[in-house]
């Protein structure tokens, strides 16, 4: 059924990971919500399709924490959209998130490798 194939691309992301990805995207320059979705989709090799239902809450959460700032600007197609940009505090948070992520990845990889060798 058509619906199932649509959802195939959705990957469940832990909340913290979504924050990190958004911050990373904004690292490349200020962007509006739709643009962030597209960017993530493109740069992940069309694997990650962020659910908008989680994106906007995440963006507002980040703004509340002071890691991003937002303002109304005009896009290329002359539409008014809310552009988000990362702040200095956000950059620090991104760095620490990235470190934690690398730690997580390394730990999981170690576990998976171990299981493979004992077989």
Partner 1 sequence: MRVWRWWFGRRGDVDEEIQTHLRMAVAERVARGESPEEARRAVLREFGNVALVREVTRAAWGWEWMERVGQDARYAVRQLRRSPGFAVTVIVTLALGLGATAAMFTVVNRVLFRTMPYKDAGRLVVIQESGRRGVFYSGVPYLDIEAWRGRAKSFEEIAFSVLAGGRTFLEGGAGAEQVEHRMVSTNLFHVLGVEPAMGRGFADDKNAGFAETGDENTVVLSDAVWRESFGGDRKILGKVVKMNGQSYTVVGVMPRGFGFPAEAKSPQIWTAVALRDSDKTRTNQSTTYETIARMKHGVSVADAEAEMKVVQVEVAKQYPDMYARDLVSSAKVKRYRDSLVGTDVRRALLALFAASGVLWLIACVNATGLLLARGTARRREIAVRGALGASRWRIVRQLLVEGLMLSVGGSVLGLALAVVLLKVFAHGLTTQLHVDGVMPDERAIGVLLGLTIFSAVVSSMWPAVVSARASIEPALRQGGAQSGAARGQHRVRGLLVVTQIALSLLLMVSCGLLLRTIYALQHVPLGFLTDHIIVGNMTIPAYKYAGQDMATELYRPLLERAKTLPGVESAALMTEVPLGTTFRMVFSFGVEGNSADTVKRRDFRAQFRAVSPEMQKVFGFRMLKGRFFNESDTPGSQAVVVVNRAFVKEFSESNDPGKMLGQRLLSLEKGKPAIVVGVLDDERQVSVAEKSQPEIEVCLPQLTPQSGFYKASEGMAMDLAVRTERSPASVVPELRDLMRKASPELGSTKFTTMNQIVEDSYGNQQIAARLLMVFGGSALLLCLAGLYGLLAYLVTQRTRELGVRIALGAQRGHVMWLVMRQAGWMLLCGSAVGLGLAYFTSRLVGSFLYGVKPHDAWTMVAVSVLLVGSGLGAAFVPARRAAKVDPMEALRAE
Give the residues lining the site for partner 1 (CB under 8 A).
Answer: 6, 32-34, 51-53, 56-61, 63-64, 75, 77, 79-82
Q: Which is nearer to partner 1, 6 or 99 (CB)?
A: 6
Shortest separation between residue 24's beta carbon and partner 1, angstroms: 20
- Check if the beta carbon of residue 82 is closer than 8 Å to that of residue 33: yes
Shortest separation between residue 35's beta carbon and partner 1, angstroms: 8
- Check if the beta carbon of residue 90 is closer than 8 Å to that of residue 67: yes
Q: Which is nearer to partner 1, 21 or 32 (CB)?
A: 32
Q: Which is nearer to partner 1, 33 or 90 (CB)?
A: 33
How many Å apart are CA 71 and CA 36, to the nearest integer? Answer: 15
Q: Which is nearer to partner 1, 57 or 106 (CB)?
A: 57
Shortest separation between residue 64's beta carbon and partner 1, angstroms: 6
Shortest separation between residue 76's beta carbon and partner 1, angstroms: 11
Structure tokens at 44: 């992940």
How many Å apart are CA 21 and CA 38, to the nearest integer? Answer: 12
């Amino acid at each position: 059924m058509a619906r199932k194939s649509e959802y195939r691309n959705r990957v469940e992301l832990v909340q913290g990971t979504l924050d990190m990805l958004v911050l990373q995207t904004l690292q490349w320059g200020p962007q509006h919500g739709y643009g962030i979705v597209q960017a993530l989709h493109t740069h992940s090799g069309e694997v990650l399709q962020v659910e908008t239902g989680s994106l906007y809450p995440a963006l507002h959460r980040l703004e509340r924490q002071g890691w991003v700032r937002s303002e109304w600007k005009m896009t290329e197609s002359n539409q008014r959209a809310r552009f988000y940009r990362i702040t200095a505090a956000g950059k620090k948070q991104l760095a620490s998130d990235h470190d934690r992520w690398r730690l997580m990845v390394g730990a999981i990889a170690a576990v998976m490798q171990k299981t493979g060798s004992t077989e």
